[in-house]
Amino acid sequence: MSSSTLSARPAVATSGTTSANASGVSDAATGPGSRYIIADRPQHGLRAALARRESLLALLLLAVFLANSILLPHFLDLDNLADSTFNFSEKALIALPMALLIICREIDISVSGILALSSVAMGLAHANGAPPEALLPIAIATGAACGCLNGVMVTRFGLPSIVVTIGTVSLFRGLASVVLGDQAYTGYPQIMADWGQGYFFGFIPREFVVMLVFAAVFAVVLHATSWGRRIYAIGNNPVAARFSGIGVNRYRLMLFVLTGAMAGLAGYLLTGRIGSTRPNIAMGWELEIITMVILGGVSIAGGAGTIGGVLLAVLTLGTVTYGLQMANIPGIYMTIVIGLLLLATIALPRLLRGRKK
Amino acid sequence: MMPLLKMRETQLALCIVALIALVGARAPVFVTPASLANLLTDSTLLIMLALAQMLVIVTRGVDLSMASTLALAGMMSAQLASRSPDLPLSVVVLAAVVIGLLLGLVNGYLVGYLELPPIVVTLGTMSVYRGMVFVLSGGAWVSSHQMPADFIAFPLARLFGVTHLVWIAVVVVLAAWYLARHSRFGRDLYAIGNQPSSARYVGIPIARRLLWTYGLSGAMAGLCGYLWVARYAVAYTEIAYGFEFTVIAACVIGGISIAGGCGSVAGAVLGGLFLAVIGNALPVVKVSPFWQSALTGIVILTAVLINARNGKQGGRQILPLHLNRQTGSAA
C-alpha cells in the first residue's frame, strides 16, 4: 500500500474542514504516525519471509507441537487431538470478524456480552415453544441486532468504539442476567447438541469444520476482494479512505453487525456444546479473543494483519492449552503463557530492531 | 454562574444530587447520614483507581492490568500478613504499594521506552498478573481468620467519625488534584495526550513520564489491593475480576476522553461516585440487583453521548477556532 502518498494530501485538506468529532476519533486510535511501519514496497526473499509474523507463528506452532508430542505420551492420539479443537473453535469464530474490526481501527469489547444475550434469547425462545430450527436464526439475529447498536453508536455519533463497547458489554450482559435471574436455561433440543458436540464422520468435530469454513471465507474476502482491500485502506487512513470514495462508516457498521452475528453463531454452538445458558457464559472471552487476534499479527493501530496469522495464533494457543491439559497443569497457568506470548511477540521485534529514532 | 453550570463536572454533580434525592424520596433510609457515609466508603476504592486510570488515559493510554495488579498486590500483602502476623501494618501496606509500583513500572517500561501500544501491553500483563495470583496462592483462599486483626480492622476503623478509607481517598484526591493541575509532571501528561509529537519537540521526556504514569497507576492499584483485601477480609484469585472496566467506565462517565489530553480530577471522582450511587441505590429501591450491570451500561452510553455532543460545541480543538477568528477578522 502506498499509504504515505494517500495520507499526505487529505490530512492537509481536512484539518480545517472536518468536525472535531471525525478527526478526534480517527486520531484517537493511533495519533499522528502509526507505531507500525509500512514499507513503501514489499520486501522479498527468505529473510523477509522469516521476519513475517505468520512464519514466526508457524515455527512456534511446530515447536510447541513437537515438544508436546515428545514430552507427552498421549499427545498424538488422534481422538484427543480432534477433541482439543473444542476449546478454541467458538472463540476463533469470533476472532475472525474481530480481526477485520481491528484492521479497520475499531474494536469490540462487547462480544462476550452479545454471546450471552443471544444464548439467553435462544433459551427464552425455546422455553416459549420455538421450534428447534428457529433457534439458530434467533441467535444470529440477536447478535446482529446487538452489533448494529454498537455500529450505530460508533458511526452515527462518532464515538470511540472501545468506550461504546465497554458500555454495551455491561448492557448486554446485564440484560442477559435480568432475563435469566438466578436461573439457567437447559434442555436444549438435540440438533444443537449435534452441532455443538457432534462429529463429522464420527471423528472431526463439527465446530472445528464450521470454524475452518468461516476462516476460508474470511480469508478470501479479506485478501482477494476489493472489500478486503478497502478494509485495509480504512485501517491505514480513514480520512484518506473516505476521500477516495470508500463508504467508511458503512464498512464500519457492517463489520460491527458481522461481529455481532458471528458472536451469535458462536453462542449457538457454545450453548449446544455445554447444553445450558448460565449468567457467566463466556465470561472474559473478549480479552482472550482480542489476544488471539493481536498474537496473530493484527496491528492494534489498524491497517495490518492476515487471517492466516490469526488462524495460526488460534491453533498455537489451542495446542499449548491442550498440552497443558495433558500434562495436568491447571488452566490458569495458560493465562500466564498467553500473556507472556503476547508481550514477547510484540516486544521482541521491537527489541531486536533496536532503539532507532 | 452560567459558565459554571455549563461545566460537565457541575452537571454531573447535579445529576448525582438529583439521583440521591430521587432515591431518597422513594426510600428515605437512603439519605440518612449513616447510609450516605456508607455510600462514600463504598465509592472510595473506585474513585482512587479512577484517578490513577485518569492520568493514564490522559496520555492516550489505558491500563487494563489495573484489576490484576490489585489482585496480585492484595494477595501478596494478605499472605505476608498471614505468614508473619507480627509485622507492623505500615510495612504490609508499603509492601503492597511497592509491589504494585513494580508491576506498573513493567507496563510503563514497555509502553514508554519500547513504545508498544498500551492496550496490548496491559492486556498481556493483565493475564500474566492474574495468573501469578493463582500461582502464588496455589488457588487457595486467604480468609479472615488467617489475617491479623489490625490488618482487617484498618480500612473501616474510624478517625473523627469517618472511616480510614475515606480519609485515604481524600488525601489521594488532593494529591491527584495537585499532580494534575499544578505539577510539571501532570501538565506534561496533558501535553503528551494532546499532541505527542509537539510534546516531544518542546522537550518533554515522554518515555520517562509514561514509565512513572503507569508506575503510579500500579502503585495505586497496589494500595487499593491491600484496602480491598482488608476491607472484604478475604483474598482469592478472582478478586476484582473485570473491575478494570468499571474503573474505565467511571472515567468515561466523568468526561475523561479516551482520545487523551482531556479530563479532570473532579470528573474522575464524580464518575466513580455516580457508579457507586447506582450500585448502592438499587437494593434500596428494591430493583433486582441483576439490573445493575444493564443500568451501568446505559449510563456509560448516555454519558459518552452527552460528552460527544459537548465536545462538538468546542473544547478540545483550539487551533481551528483560532484560525476561524483570524479569517473572520480579515474578512
- CA dist., res. B249 & res. A162, Å (int): 11
**For B255, nearest residue in chain A (alpha carbons):** A163
Residue B330 placed within a domain: no
Find residues 267-286 of chain A whose CB sits inside 8 Å of chain B: 283-284
Residue B305 placed within a domain: yes
**For B198, nearest residue in chain A (alpha carbons):** A32
Residue B308 placed within a domain: yes
- CA dist., res. A298 & res. A291, Å (int): 10
Cell of A201: 464422520
Q: What's the pLDDT score for residue A333? A: 83
- Whether A346 sits inside 8 A of B115 (CB atoms) is no
Q: What's the pLDDT score for residue B227? A: 92
Instruction: State CA B104 to chain mean position distance.
Output: 14
Cβ atoms A135, A192 nearer than 8 A: yes
B83 contact partners, CB below 8 Å, separation of at least 6: none
Length in residues, chain A: 357
Domain harbouring B141, CATH code: 1.10.3470
Which residues of A are less than 8 Å from B312 in CB distance? 19-21
Residues paired with residue B143 on neighbouring β-strands, in sequence order: B234
Per-residue pLDDT 10s for chain B (331 aa) are 567 777 778 888 888 899 889 888 888 888 888 888 888 888 999 999 999 999 999 998 889 899 999 999 999 998 888 888 888 888 989 999 999 999 999 999 999 888 888 988 998 899 899 989 988 888 788 887 788 878 887 888 788 878 888 899 999 999 999 999 899 999 999 999 988 888 889 989 999 999 999 999 999 999 999 999 988 888 888 888 888 888 998 998 888 888 888 888 999 999 999 999 988 888 888 787 788 888 888 888 888 888 776 655 444 444 444 445 444 444 3
More confident of the two residues B273 and A72: B273
In one-letter notation, the amino acid at residue B177 is W
Number of domains present in the structure of chain B: 1
Please check whether residue B295 touches A, CB under 8 A.
yes
- CA dist., res. A135 & res. A155, Å (int): 30
Please check whether residue B291 touches A, CB under 8 A.
yes
Buried b (16+ CB within 10 A) or exposed e, B28-56: eebeeeebeeebbbbbbbbbbbbbbbbbb
Residue B202 placed within a domain: yes
Which residues of A are less than 8 Å from B139 in CB distance? 330, 332
Which residues of B are less than 8 Å from A25 in CB distance? 259
Q: What's the pLDDT score for residue A218? A: 94
Q: What's the pLDDT score for residue A354? A: 62
Please check whether residue B161 touches A, CB under 8 A.
no
Q: What's the pLDDT score for residue B2? A: 64
Q: In chain A, how long is the greatest CA-to-CA distance?
A: 66
**For A289, nearest residue in chain B (alpha carbons):** B123
Find residues 57-76 of chain A whose CB sits inside 8 Å of chain B: none
Average pLDDT over residues A153-169: 89
- Whether A174 sits inside 8 A of B296 (CB atoms) is yes
- Find which of A112, A169, A170, A336 to mutate to test the B interface (most B CBs within 10 Å of its CB): A170
* Residue from A290, A88, A352, A332 nearest B124 by CA: A290
- Whether A24 sits inside 8 A of B317 (CB atoms) is yes
Q: pTM for the whole thing? A: 0.82
Which residues of B are less than 8 Å from A163 in CB distance? 252, 258, 300, 304
Domain residue limits at B282: 2-325
**For A26, nearest residue in chain B (alpha carbons):** B259
- Whether B139 sits inside 8 A of A181 (CB atoms) is no
Tell me the shortest Cα–Cα distance from A205 to chain B, in angstroms.
Answer: 29
Which residues of A are less than 8 Å from B308 in CB distance? 21, 157-159
- Whether B304 sits inside 8 A of A171 (CB atoms) is no
* Residue from B307, A195, B129, B191 nearest B121 by CA: B129
Residue A15 has pLDDT above 70, yes or no: no
Q: What are the contacts of A235-238 at 24+ separation with CB within 8 A?
A: A235/A103, A235/A104, A235/A105, A235/A302, A235/A303, A235/A304, A236/A1, A236/A3, A236/A6, A236/A7, A236/A38, A236/A302, A236/A303, A237/A3, A237/A6, A237/A7, A237/A10, A237/A303, A238/A26, A238/A105
Q: What's the pLDDT score for residue A75? A: 78
- Whether A332 sits inside 8 A of B241 (CB atoms) is no
Confidence label for A44 from pLDDT (cuts 50, 70 and 90): low
Which residues of A are less than 8 Å from B293 in CB distance? 170-171, 173-174, 177
Query: How high is the ipTM of this complex?
Result: 0.80
Q: How many CB pairs under 8 A join A and B?
A: 178
Residue B271 placed within a domain: yes
Partner-chain residue, chosen from A159, A171, A350, that has the shortest CB–CB distance to B116: A350
Q: Within a 10 A sphere around the Cβ of B238, how many other Cβ atoms?
A: 11
- CA dist., res. A159 & res. A161, Å (int): 6
Please check whether residue B64 touches A, CB under 8 A.
yes
Residue B331 placed within a domain: no
Cell of A68: 508436546
Residue B321 placed within a domain: yes
Residue A187 has pLDDT above 70, yes or no: yes
Partner-chain residue, chosen from A16, A20, A171, that has the shortest CB–CB distance to B316: A20
Residue A31 has pLDDT above 50, yes or no: no
Which residues of B are less than 8 Å from A285 in CB distance? none
- Find which of A19, A165, A171 to mutate to test the B interface (most B CBs within 10 Å of its CB): A171
Cα R_g (chain A), whole angstroms = 21
- Whether B300 sits inside 8 A of A330 (CB atoms) is no
Please check whether residue A20 touches B, CB under 8 A.
yes
Residue B25 placed within a domain: yes
Confidence label for A203 from pLDDT (cuts 50, 70 and 90): confident
Find residues 227-246 of chain B whose CB sits inside 8 Å of chain A: 237, 241-242, 245
Q: Flag the least confident range among A185-189, A241-245, B289-293.
A: B289-293
